[in-house]
Amino acid sequence: MWDNFNRLVLANLHTLGVGLSVTGYVCFCAFALAVVLGAIACLVRLYVPFVRIVAIGYIEFCRATPIFVQLLWVNYVWPEVFGFPKSVVGAGIIALALQSSGYLAETFRSGIEGLPRGQREAGLAVGMSHIQILRRIVTPQVLLVMAPSIVNQMTVVIKSSTLVSVIAIPDLMYEALKLVNTWFEPIEILTSTALIYVLTIFLISILAKRVSDRFRNKFGLAAHA
């Protein structure tokens, strides 16, 4: 087995590394876009009554549609209907972002609604505008309180990204499956690939927790173990 590991995995570390870099790029862009879309959907649902139903529909659609379906829909339907995305990578980013944005919108909404109403009233009493209250009082607290849920959604994006290989994005899973189909030796290749995903998610979780705890202490919130 060790000989197979050297021949199949170590000899192809560059290929797997390239795939991992594509995975990282897709996940980073998708999560950043999801945060933006989720925040917009959340704010529209909370503060823009005349289009609230549109935001609710968007959130529920994104949460209820399987990521596999969204990948195929964005990749094959959107170019015909909307003229974009122009590449499979763009389709993968958009599809991952759509699903995560629905969950993040609900995460943000629960955080905002969970804040004591007196904080907003105090902000208004000292002459702050609603935008200033949102930026200076609401947003920092929501991000800190909901940090675990946001990090969890980030790991969901990474795990869901394994499906982008179905639309031929050359990510880590795609490269691993190519090696399996070439050598017909799945044990070493897929086991190593699984360990790479586990290690990646573990490192991201540790880093995010340290950053979150640091900001909690800075702003006077007790860090959670």
Residue 9 has pLDDT above 80, yes or no: no
Classified as helix, coil or strand, 220 is: coil
Residue 77's pLDDT is 95
Which domains are assigned to the chain? 2-218 (1.10.3720.10)
Owner of token pair 């959130």? 59
Burial classification of residue 213, based on how many CB atoms lie within 10 Å of its CB (0-12 exposed, 13-18 middle, 19 or more buried): middle
Q: How far is CA 67 from the centre of its chain?
A: 12
Residue 221 has pLDDT above 60, yes or no: no
Q: With the C-alpha atoms ordered 59, 60, 64, 70, is the resulting torsion angle positive or negative?
A: negative
Per the structure block, which two tokens stand in for 10?
């170590």
Cis ω before 116 (30° cut-off from 0):
no
Instruction: Please tell me the total number of residues recorded for the chain in this structure.
Output: 225
Burial classification of residue 43, based on how many CB atoms lie within 10 Å of its CB (0-12 exposed, 13-18 middle, 19 or more buried): middle
177-195, pLDDT tens digit by residue? 999 998 888 888 899 999 9
> Which helix (H) or strand (E) is 87 found in, with range?
none
> Most distant CA pair in the chain: distance in Å?
72
Which one is predicted more confidently, 33 or 224? 33
- Under the banding of pLDDT at 50, 70 and 90, the label for residue 224 is very low
Q: What is the mean pLDDT of the chain?
A: 86
- Spatial distance between the Cα atoms of 64 and 86, rounded to a whole number of angstroms: 26
Which one is predicted more confidently, 4 or 126? 126
- Under the banding of pLDDT at 50, 70 and 90, the label for residue 132 is confident
134-180, pLDDT tens digit by residue? 777 777 777 777 778 888 899 999 999 999 999 999 999 999 999 99
Burial classification of residue 126, based on how many CB atoms lie within 10 Å of its CB (0-12 exposed, 13-18 middle, 19 or more buried): exposed
Residue 116's pLDDT is 73
- Under the banding of pLDDT at 50, 70 and 90, the label for residue 90 is very high
Residue 146's pLDDT is 79
Q: With the C-alpha atoms ordered 89, 164, 101, 146, is the resulting torsion angle positive or negative?
A: negative
Owner of token pair 């919108």? 105
The arithmetic mean of pLDDT across residues 3-23, rounded, is 83
Cβ contact 185:131 at 8 Å: no
Which one is predicted more confidently, 225 or 156? 156
Residue 102 has pLDDT above 90, yes or no: yes
